[in-house]
Structure 1
């Protein structure tokens, strides 16, 4: 079939649509006005109702507060000011959030702002990357689609760093496409470097689109096969150096001089990469003993051998002056339940957050509300882009585009359909390829209409009906008034269909019909994004609006105020003590870090399962006067039986602060030898 695009980008049909480029004022065209309008819509969605964000994910916000107290804490991404344990993520995203908080104060707005800005920057990038290959109209459709994706709006309004990861991967896609176009090594190395930065935001999650990136260069660049293999080898070497630089630096630091590596089994970042943030995401808790309680973002119970030596001593501040503390509230991070060590909604095998694994996971509740609204259209677009022109080597630009974005989307769809554990907001990384394919699909249908109008109109109407039918089915799983959304989309569909049929291929009718059908496709995800923004239970574990309670993640916000009486008591009785108190894990301690800015010893790391300290360590801290108060779970296993036994034998309960969940104990040096 006839190519609609060659290396001369201006040959794209929608690029030739003159009205989009008509000069209205100096520097002002309809296309630029439309892109500006999309950016304003995205800004409205991202900045509206930010008071509901509160202090966002408390685990990470407390870590940011800790990181601003010393360069040591900043480099190692210490989870609490005493630097007893790190967070379970690499540093780059948290470094950026900490820099934002340094200037704006430690608060919800400061820590979510980097992700919001990343999301807004992604919109013109998606416009450019799609417009270059399929024209201005396609670029605008892609920009709109990525702006209104519910999971994107949810993730960008949070400090879980996936918005920043998504931006880095878009930049990497640009670099690999540019390397394919020019054949130059420097663009290939730039792409590898950017993916390495993404690795330092969310580890192996950043590698998900890498096969598509490598494949497009290998199959599309107009250089010799041997040269391409050599260049890819050099890019891989750079990728590994950038990706592992921080991990190697941390692991080479003696354990006594750094925090325990949170969520690792052997106190190394390498194990964290391969285990907790690697194979465990695919298969579940491999290698974990079931004698220990589960982690908040693990499905299996876990076991880690105890470590020798005492924990790092609280740092004495230094380079940064922490801003005044926010109101102290606590939300269990990433969906874990406070004080129980229970897994979140994302446990494998079926859950309230991501559902059971399988090929239909993206199309049924609870996961379908996140990103699947336009997925049927995107899959049809992939087939159309593949079949419309003959495959050649090197790949034509349109097939290069398809390989990058289609390969990225399919890889993500397969992985997240069968992965044992992930959170729903991880799907934000699939928003760019989905949006790009929707934009390209609209452009391809437009071009087909220039050749075979009835076939193009039939395909467009059929695909729109299929997509809208799925949107109604999807919405109906979560809300009772899905018919209202279906009616709105149906009206636009009917109006657009009439114009296509009556116009019989005339350009003005075709443009209006395409526009109405586009609105029909976009109106439901746009409204769902607004509902997501207005959802006050969408703070700690972000995700698209969950509608009826049946599919809402349990206690996703779970705000609990700091016990001010307890905080006042601890402050009054620990002025000469380094730690405010020791707690089973961040579940109980993060809110007190935010409220006081003081070190709080997370004895079990994130959710009570890490061997950050043992009984001997606690005894030594008490003997040295560094620790006076210990909070224990009341009747709940937490993997710290040795510590519990020592505290019960050597410390005295403080009855006024005991409750059904926890007990507070006061320890004195003279109680132990």
Structure 2
């Protein structure tokens, strides 16, 4: 007996998938508040000033930009301009980008492997903990992932001759705009996209080369127009390019956000803050619980799928899709494992679509051969490995739902055994076993995802799951400085907030503070521009001491809040410019200080201290 799905099933199924994903990502969304205050303040600035919008300035007076291209900020700033500044207007765009990414992944996988595989891929992506984290957060990773999934879909369409000549250039357009979201990380998958197309596309070789060159030109245009605009724009009439030492967006793209992330040689950065470089990084304590739940199973599924399709024609679309998603997984995984520069655990959201797509297609191929003991044995092995790995990941938070890891392990091993005995099961029972296998395999990541949604997240380095494993933000009353000032935005008390708001319109900047996160907290509270001295890390030479003194003489800055950015065990920043600390020292020497709501505040409109 065979089961034939009714005609309405695919549409109803994908609508249900997207509705559930939307509910998952939008539920309790405001619990994250401003989320990453660094980007929240920039979105606020972009909604207030068109120049700040264009360049991604940290403040509406355009002192310095964020240390990324502003593509993701354009979406957020537009939302803030339309709906006002609040948690929802900042975070809903990312949630909708997540829903769209799930939908596009479903479309890509279902074209080559069927509706069930597409639904599985979409569910795996939606329930990956780091995906639930970042699609509910205002970092640029959400837009990056959506655009890369769109690009992969376009490459899949381009593999078939019937797909026409526009799909590959459209993939280039998507990657180009992904560059405007997070710069060079968007290009990590380019070798995979290009090689898979050259190998597996149905078009003649000359046509493949021509279309690939066209796609490269489309990508360079969509990414390069902004670089050219910024480089040609007079520096005196635009903000300083944050994250660079020479006020250059090319330096930012190729250095701090480019090769420096691989080599660790990032002038102005913090050096390599990771101590787990190597093959096991994706499974380690920082990244394992974020994304690796189904990673072993995905590797097995992709390998099995490639073996099954080994004798298929070069242009086989299923094998082409496996090469595409599998190549994305391998190349990105290797880069993340061995990068020596700054690499945060939430970056692994870029692996989630590849894991989901490769796993779903490979599993579909194996299931279609369920009469073969080798196929059901492989499926059983995948479930067993997933159950064991889920147990180990859950054990890392042993005090959180301790019964869950035991239940997943026992149920997973039982289902794996049932799959090994598939030849003796009826069709109905076997389908029930398959549904149970999927459910058990998704239990661990789903539990982490629900815990992520139930927990508030803020700061620069959010982490999915029931525990964040991060140092807490600085409590109210502590002076800015130390690692807390780098990672979290301060929440100024009512007296300081009122002070910053009074007469704010008379000044270009109501205040200045060292470090973008410090400045962002005061700016979000006051609703007026606050200068981020030294940019994100406090290491950018913007402004110089001479420029800052000139601003003070012109009475363009009202207050200076806090002091220098101090790192543990040192009195200077690790690399880059020391202008920010020199400015803080000059202010402390030359202006009287008062403590307001536990924070040191200097009134820069007061006369210099006598004798200085």
Question: Does the alignment reach a TM-score above 0.5?
Answer: yes
Matching residue of 1:664? 602
CA contact (8 A) 1:262 1:605 kept: yes
Q: Judge which range, 257-266 or 569-578, deviates more.
A: 569-578
Provide the C-alpha distance between the structure 1 equivalents of 2:397 and 2:286, rounded to a whole number of angstroms.
Answer: 8
Distance 1:584 1:634, change over 3 A: closer
Provide the C-alpha distance between the structure 1 equivalents of 2:142 and 2:208, rounded to a whole number of angstroms.
Answer: 32
Q: What displacement does 1:538 show?
A: 5.3
What secondary structure, in the 3-state scheme, does the structure 2 residue paired with 1:602 have?
Answer: strand
Matching residue of 1:388? 308
Q: What displacement does 1:543 show?
A: 2.5
Distance 1:188 1:132, change over 3 A: same
Matching residue of 2:381? 462
Matching residue of 1:299? 270
CA contact (8 A) 2:91 2:137 kept: yes
Matching residue of 1:98? 77
Matching residue of 1:348? 273
Please tell me the root mean square deviation across aligned C-alpha atoms, in Å: 2.6
C-alpha offsets along residues 594-638 of structure 1, whole Å, 9 cap, x if unaligned? 122212122211231111112221222122221232235168346
Q: What displacement does 1:264 show?
A: 0.6
Provide the C-alpha distance between the structure 2 equivalents of 1:648 and 1:47, rounded to a whole number of angstroms.
Answer: 45
Matching residue of 2:251? 271
Distance 1:635 1:375, change over 3 A: closer
Distance 1:120 1:410, change over 3 A: same
Out of 344, 349, 353, the residue aligned to residue 432 of structure 1 is 353
Matching residue of 1:228? 208
Provide the C-alpha distance between the structure 2 equivalents of 1:539 and 1:647, rounded to a whole number of angstroms.
Answer: 27
Matching residue of 2:476? none
Q: 1:584-603 alignment to 2 at 5 Å?
A: 584-603=514-533
- Residue 472 (str. 1) matches residue 443 (str. 2): no
CA contact (8 A) 2:490 2:518 kept: no
Matching residue of 1:398? 318
Distance 1:446 1:98, change over 3 A: same
Q: What displacement does 1:540 show?
A: 4.7
What secondary structure, in the 3-state scheme, does the structure 2 residue paired with 1:158 have?
Answer: coil
Q: What displacement does 1:513 show?
A: 1.5
Q: 1:21-60 alignment to 2 at 5 Å?
A: 21-23=5-7, 28-29=8-9, 31-60=10-39
Matching residue of 1:619? 549
Matching residue of 2:480? none
Q: Judge which range, 87-96 or 35-44, deviates more.
A: 35-44
Q: What displacement does 1:497 show?
A: 4.1
Q: TM-score, normalised by structure 1?
A: 0.82
Distance 1:377 1:174, change over 3 A: same
Q: 1:201-280 alignment to 2 at 5 Å?
A: 201-280=181-260
Which stretches in structure 1 are left out of the alignment for 5+ residues? 1-15, 289-294, 301-346, 351-355
Distance 1:538 1:493, change over 3 A: farther
Q: What displacement does 1:240 show?
A: 1.2
What secondary structure, in the 3-state scheme, does the structure 2 residue paired with 1:628 have?
Answer: strand
Provide the C-alpha distance between the structure 2 equivalents of 1:571 and 1:155, rounded to a whole number of angstroms.
Answer: 32
CA contact (8 A) 2:35 2:137 kept: yes
Provide the C-alpha distance between the structure 2 equivalents of 1:201 and 1:52, rounded to a whole number of angstroms.
Answer: 25
Q: How many residues align?
A: 586
Q: What displacement does 1:503 show?
A: 6.1
C-alpha offsets along residues 333-379 of structure 1, whole Å, 9 cap, x if unaligned? xxxxxxxxxxxxxx4342xxxxx111011122121001100011101
Distance 1:648 1:144, change over 3 A: closer
Q: Judge which range, 156-165 or 588-597, deviates more.
A: 588-597
Q: What displacement does 1:501 show?
A: 2.6
